[in-house]
Every structure is written in structure tokens, then in C-alpha cells.
Amino acid sequence: MDRDAPPMIAYDRVAKSFGATTAVDNVTLTVAHGELLAIVGGSGSGKTTLLRLANRLIELDAGSVRIAGDDIRTADPIALRRRIGTVFQAAALFPHMSVAANIGITPKLLGWSKADISARVDELLDLVRLDPAQHRRRFPHELSGGQRQRVGVARALAAKPEIVLMDEPFGALDPLTRDALGEDFRALHQRLGLTTILITHDITEALLLADRIAVMRAGKLLEQGTPAGLSASREPYVAELMQTPRRQAQRLAALLDGGA
């Protein structure tokens, strides 16, 4: 990660309201090239709205968002979304399309040849640890939750984006699958040199996967920093949030020792 390079994503005094509700309140935040930033906060904190402002799934009310220095308001929204990979919580695969068709949809829209799309599908299935011979012709209902989410990651990477936006991507999975997929994505992030924003309500997941964490509450960015930096925070909500994994670890240790 080159911290001297210009930000890959830059939010500058961004605001967004829905009627009388302020979802994002004057947020300034940057994400460096090659960085994995986790945005954490409870329901209604504004984290998902902030994510969706980056690819214009939601239009901002004030401020600006820049991708690699370019103001997204000057970009065609559809073209912008095709250059940014997005992974949703429930994978959001097209149920009537095969795994191969789901992964290949963006390259197809971009005019790739059938041969190039087919090769990319096989490459990505290998990358997310799914055997192409066994999975490319299956449909979403024939897959487990973890397999569907791996296909969702593959689809997000299909057009070779530099940026990936992930909205609670592992939240609906069982603990073992969630842990494995999180580690696998972190390895892919490093290997491919991606810039990633990960939305999660799970501070432990953020601590384990992210280079840096931004904490939101009621639409405001309370604090941002490395996991080690945030552990010394004096902001009450952030300090309480950072204590949660420690308390859980202590309770688990006591329970496990008691059962020995």
C-alpha cells in the first residue's frame, strides 16, 4: 500500500438526508490505494449510505466524492459502477442465471469476447476456491450460502476493478464459513492490490481484516485509525466498542477454563 499516493477514494464533507433523517452528516474520509478500510457502527449509523454514495447507488446532497481524483458527479453512473466491484450481504446473484453467467455479466456488458469471459470465469472460480468443472453450470439455489458468497466475490472481481465495496458481505454466514471467507478475501485483497471498503457491524471482524477502521454513529464519523490506534481512543463510544472483543475473550476464557 502506497501511503504517499493520492487517495483512491475521497469523501469531502459529504452529507445525505432522507426526509427529516440525516443519514450522513458532513463526513470527510479518504481510502488510500491498496488499503482495506472497515467502516463500523450500529444500525442507522450511516455506514451503508456512505458506501453507496461512492458508486452513486445513492446521490449525495452536499460535498463531493472522488475516485482516483475524479469527481463521481461527472461520471456516467452505469460506467462508474462497472469499474467498481460490489459485494452485498446476500450475494444478490441472479437466480435464473448459472454461476458462469453471473460472474461473466459485467464483462459481457463491457463487450468482452466469449472466450475471454469463459477464461475469466474459470480463473475467478479458482481464485475463490470453487472448482470450475463442478460449479460453473450450477444455479444459485444449488449452492450453499458460503458458495453463493464466493460467487458474489468472483462476480465483483470479474471486470478487474481496482476498487471493491463490500456491504456486510459475511454477516449471513455461519461462523466457520464467515471466518474462512474473510481470511480468503483479505488474501485476495493483498494479492490483487485492491482498494476495499468493508461495511460491518462486527468490530472483531473489522479488527481482524482491516488496515484502518472508521467508526460511525448517527451519521457522523466519530473517529478513524488503525486497530492499535483506536484501542487508545478516549471517545466514549469508540472506547466501549473496542472493549467488546476483550470482554468476549475474557468471558470465553473463563467458560472454557471452567469446563476443563
Question: What pLDDT, in 10s, does the model give residues 117-144?
Answer: 999 999 999 999 999 999 999 999 999 9
- Give yes or no for residue 77 having a pLDDT over 80: yes
In this structure, what C-alpha cell is assigned to residue 144? 450453499
Q: What value does the mean pLDDT take over residues 38-44?
A: 93
| Domains in the chain with CATH codes | 1-83+162-260 (3.40.50.300), 91-161 (no CATH)
- Identify whether the C-beta of residue 197 lies closer than 8 Å to the C-beta of residue 165: yes
State the residue for C-alpha cell 451503508. 48
In this structure, what C-alpha cell is assigned to residue 44? 442507522
Least confident span in 37-41, 163-167, 245-249: 245-249
In this structure, what C-alpha cell is assigned to residue 37? 478500510
Least confident span in 85-99, 165-179, 213-227, 246-260: 246-260
What band does 2 get if pLDDT is binned at 50, 70 and 90? low
What band does 258 get if pLDDT is binned at 50, 70 and 90? low
- Identify whether the C-beta of residue 87 lies closer than 8 Å to the C-beta of residue 164: yes
Residues 205, 77: Cα–Cα separation, whole Å: 31
Residues 65, 54: Cα–Cα separation, whole Å: 7
Residues 1, 211: Cα–Cα separation, whole Å: 10
